[in-house]
């Protein structure tokens, strides 16, 4: 599927923040890259970008991006970007696209699910389909600036910025056929150079249909306020994993998201963050191995800090499209080492504080049990998914938190014994459940 | 693919060992079950068994087997099994099979690869194809009793027990068409009731072709000597895994195969053997935790014994068609526990013999490293398989053997340090290699 992206405008309202709006880095990733990556995730594999303002650096960036994402990105310059409406930008691609295509705006964020649903629904012959948001109180929408839509059934009957009677917003996500080019020529002949002008001509023939995407995520990044809101949504989406345990969800994520917001601006990779988290755990274990309560408590705080940092690698990977199979694996391996080191540090501490064989045994069983719960997780989770049942997980978030509380309260033996008992019993339970 | 199996004969030469030859348990599994399971592995999914001698218990057994393997098994009785040749048994199925079919003997063992290759080669229209072994010095063949074949190209020109000039053996594996039934009727009309008689008629019309399977495993179980040889081959095939490390290959397997030969006759499951091996490891760890050299040495011997027993679960699973996904997983989980317990036992021993923090650290790192090598194995092996490169494995066999030697030589600290160093460096190497 071809994808046409409008990136000619100057984004005057964000001029203070960036010279080129498509290249404006939102959480470390230029807006145009976000648009192209989201379209690619939805199934687009061949891109045409209409340039205008600051075309040269944009072209250079897209050339490099094309190599990174492994898909062709052509550019077409719209020399009239300054004086004419955005319909002229679409017209610049006329003759280059002969089949139905996705039409997107470089300065809109959206969930890949939305263009995917557009492609599923399909465009009417010689017409187009526009994703329309029916939530007229969507907090991400700037009512002053948004293009409004009035529908009858799935047909669009009116579209424009000033509409008084409307039942939805133009999301800027279209599935169009080349008939749009002809409609735009008609509109331009009558002096209307906007994209909405072309859509209006198709609508008059009953050829402009809507796809209702109410509830789906999209937003138009027109000003500072919109950027702030969009950042918050992106961070939320990058953090909110279904597999999060209670500690991750209520304590670690809210903090790791704040940290990721800052980390996203730096050139650090997720793997470097995984390593950082591991080093903090190593430091925590080293503190545990010192005698006395202050070192123990400090180690506990560092262990919990490492657990929070550990959330950032995945968040940055999702925010910056840097996820990799290797990264996930490295994170898991380092987490296993960190788990074992922390428990060993506590065991060492308690042995040197006069703990005897019982501490040694509890520490050993805690280390082995934690390992076994991770070792059996893939198989167990897979089985539970198959059965459609809920998964019982004592995740790393809870384990480290218990350990943190144990260190703070100087209850090392109790914590080791608790972790040893719960983890090994859980492993035993899995052996029985999977036998089924 | 339908599969016709001749199981009518009395197997007079094995009468002393079993009342019914098809039900004779070879390493715990009746011959007829081995034949049916092998044919099923090759692709057959619908079975017809010709009964004769002791038909009632055979029918009852096949009824239960059908449920276990999830494929229909019909039986047809050949009332003339005592006085007539085996061609009459084939004729008993006339009218029940309308398409090409596999024709097998209940008392032949064979690699599923052989019928698979027969089906690939296909039978000539209105004829048959016989798998022929061209190795005239095959030690598994009883020259007195085997049916001999003479070929010209792929055509069979003569077949019979008494042939003086021959270049191969009838393996008893056929891919036949219903034309065989007609040929058998012609032969029987002339007084020849053998299967070879029918084959000879087809051969005269150029309709009996050979598939050369020289080097493939098959054997006819006619007497005690053949049974002994077949047992040895089956045990070898059940044990010989490509993934075996050096200790497994040269020390553990030769012993575990002997043990499996005995275990196969008992009603023990592979999972029970996995548990037994684990319990012996647990006992070994318990001995390690006692003070003094004798307990240490005894623990070392038990650990190595557990490692040998650990080979039997897979062997019995393969020998008795009892393999399961869960069984492999249970074995892996118990092995991880056993590894950790043995290393912990040694650490405990040495700490109580006056070892200090260095022993504690070495023991901890040995436990963690051994775990990590197993934890990273799937990913690493998968990657190495993809790259087609050789895998570097320090398997459990080597780890336990080193531990056994360390216990015998009372060099516990050295062994813990060695295992700690090698296992953690190997994990680090894998992290680097997989990144590559």
| Nearest residue of B to residue A327, measured between CA atoms | B435
A156-165, A237-246, B225-234, B285-294: lowest mean pLDDT where?
A: A237-246
For residue A182, give the nearest of A82, A255, A94, A264 by alpha carbon.
A94
- Find out whether B384 and B391 touch, Cβ atoms under 8 Å: yes
Q: What is the pLDDT of residues A241-269, one digit of tens each?
A: 667 888 999 999 999 999 999 999 999 99
CA distance B158 to A378: 59
- Helices B412-435 and B396-408: crossing angle in degrees, nearest 10, is 160
> DSSP 3-state assignment of B172?
strand
**Is B326 an interface residue toward A (CB < 8 Å)?**
yes
Model confidence at A389: pLDDT above 60: no
Q: What is the pLDDT of residues A153-208, one digit of tens each?
A: 999 999 999 899 999 999 999 999 999 999 999 999 999 999 999 999 999 999 99
**pLDDT for B159:** 96
B426 contacts: CB under 8 Å, gap ≥ 6: B369, B373, B392, B394
In this structure, the strands spanning B128-133 and B218-220 are: unpaired
A169-173, A282-286, B118-122, B384-388: lowest mean pLDDT where?
A: B384-388
Among A340, A344, A360, whose Cβ lies nearest the Cβ of B348?
A360
Q: Kindly determine whether residue B340 and residue A368, on different chains, have CB atoms separated by under 8 Å.
A: yes
Q: Kindly determine whether residue B368 and residue A434, on different chains, have CB atoms separated by under 8 Å.
A: no
Could you tell me the two tokens for A149? Answer: 């839509």
Q: What is the pLDDT of residues A301-342, one digit of tens each?
A: 999 999 999 999 999 999 999 999 899 999 999 999 999 999
Confidence of residue B392 (pLDDT cuts 50, 70, 90): low
Confidence of residue B390 (pLDDT cuts 50, 70, 90): low
Model confidence at A420: pLDDT above 80: yes
What's the whole-model pTM score? 0.89
From the CA of B32, how many Å to the nearest CA of chain A?
29
Q: Kindly determine whether residue A333 and residue B375, on different chains, have CB atoms separated by under 8 Å.
A: yes
Q: Hey, what domains does chain A have and what are their CATH numbers?
A: 2-226 (3.90.550.10), 243-435 (1.20.120.1760)
**Long-range contacts (CB closer than 8 Å, 24 or more residues apart) made by A237-242:** A237/A318, A238/A314, A238/A315, A238/A316, A238/A318, A238/A319, A239/A311, A239/A315, A241/A314
Model confidence at B391: pLDDT above 80: no
**Is A326 an interface residue toward B (CB < 8 Å)?**
yes
- Find out whether B292 and B328 touch, Cβ atoms under 8 Å: no
Confidence of residue B125 (pLDDT cuts 50, 70, 90): very high
- Find out whether B203 and B157 touch, Cβ atoms under 8 Å: yes
Chain B from 358 to 417: CB within 8 A of any A CB: 360, 364, 367-368, 371-372, 374-376, 379
B203 contacts: CB under 8 Å, gap ≥ 6: B155, B156, B157, B158, B159
From the CA of B225, how many Å to the nearest CA of chain A?
41
Q: What is the CA B72 to chain-centroid distance, rounded?
A: 23
**pLDDT for A239:** 85
Q: What is the CA B392 to chain-centroid distance, rounded?
A: 26
Model confidence at A391: pLDDT above 80: no
Model confidence at B241: pLDDT above 70: no
Q: What is the pLDDT of residues A357-375, one digit of tens each?
A: 999 999 999 999 999 999 9
**pLDDT for B285:** 98
In this structure, the strands spanning B128-133 and B168-176 are: antiparallel
What average pLDDT does the structure give for chain A?
Answer: 93
Cα angle A206, A211, A217 (rounded to 5 degrees) comes to 150
- Find out whether B212 and B134 touch, Cβ atoms under 8 Å: yes
Model confidence at A387: pLDDT above 60: yes
Q: What is the CA A74 to chain-centroid distance, rounded?
A: 26
- Find out whether B33 and B106 touch, Cβ atoms under 8 Å: no
Q: How many CB pairs under 8 A join A and B?
A: 62
Q: Where are the alpha helices (DSSP H) in B18-170?
A: 31-42, 55-69, 86-91, 113-121
Model confidence at A392: pLDDT above 70: no
Q: What does the pLDDT average to over B211-221?
A: 95
Q: What is the pLDDT of residues A201-212, one digit of tens each?
A: 999 999 999 999
- Find out whether B216 and B118 touch, Cβ atoms under 8 Å: no
Q: Where are the alpha helices (DSSP H) in A320-355?
A: 325-352
Q: What does the pLDDT average to over B331-351?
A: 97
From the CA of A424, how many Å to the nearest CA of chain B?
10
Cα angle A415, A417, A419 (rounded to 5 degrees) comes to 70
CA distance B298 to B307: 14
């Amino acid at each position: 599927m071809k994808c046409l992206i409008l990136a000619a405008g100057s984004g005057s309202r964000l001029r203070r923040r960036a010279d080129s709006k498509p290249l404006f880095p939102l959480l470390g990733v230029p807006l145009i890259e976000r648009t192209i990556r989201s379209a690619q995730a939805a199934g687009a594999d061949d891109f045409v970008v209409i340039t205008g303002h600051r075309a040269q650096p944009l072209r250079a960036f897209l050339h490099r991006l094309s190599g990174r994402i492994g898909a062709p990105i052509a550019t077409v310059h719209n020399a009239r970007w300054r004086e004419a409406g955005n319909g002229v930008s679409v017209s610049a691609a006329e003759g280059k696209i002969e089949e139905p295509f996705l039409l997107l705006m470089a300065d809109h964020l959206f969930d890949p699910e939305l263009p995917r649903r557009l492609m599923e629904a399909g465009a009417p012959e010689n017409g187009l389909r526009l994703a329309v948001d029916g939530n007229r109180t969507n907090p991400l929408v700037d009512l002053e600036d948004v293009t409004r839509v009035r529908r009858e059934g799935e047909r669009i009957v009116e579209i424009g910025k000033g509409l008084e009677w409307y039942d939805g917003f133009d999301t800027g996500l279209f599935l169009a056929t080349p008939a749009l080019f002809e409609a735009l020529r008609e509109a331009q002949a009558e002096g209307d150079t906007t994209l909405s002008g072309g859509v209006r001509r198709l609508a008059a023939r009953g050829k402009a249909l809507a796809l209702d995407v109410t509830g789906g995520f999209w937003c138009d990044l027109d000003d500072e306020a919109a950027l702030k809101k969009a950042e918050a949504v992106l961070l939320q989406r990058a953090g909110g994993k279904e597999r999060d345990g209670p500690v991750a969800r209520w304590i670690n994520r809210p903090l790791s998201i704040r940290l990721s917001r800052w980390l996203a601006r730096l050139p650090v990779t997720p793997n470097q963050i995984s390593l950082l988290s591991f080093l903090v755990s190593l430091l925590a274990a080293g503190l545990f191995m010192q005698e006395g309560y202050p070192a123990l408590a400090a180690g506990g705080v560092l262990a919990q800090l490492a657990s929070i940092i550990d959330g950032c690698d995945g968040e940055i990977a999702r925010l910056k499209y840097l996820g990799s199979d290797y990264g996930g694996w490295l994170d898991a391996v380092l987490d296993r080492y960190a788990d074992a080191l922390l428990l060993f540090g506590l065991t060492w501490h308690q042995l040197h504080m006069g703990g005897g064989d019982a501490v040694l045994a509890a520490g050993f069983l805690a280390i082995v049990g934690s390992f076994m719960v991770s070792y059996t997780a893939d198989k167990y989770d897979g089985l539970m998914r198959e059965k459609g049942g809920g998964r019982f997980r004592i995740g790393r978030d809870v384990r480290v938190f218990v350990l943190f509380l144990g260190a703070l309260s100087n209850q090392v033996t109790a914590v080791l014994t608790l972790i040893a008992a719960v983890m090994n019993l859980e492993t035993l339970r899995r052996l029985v459940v999977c036998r089924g």
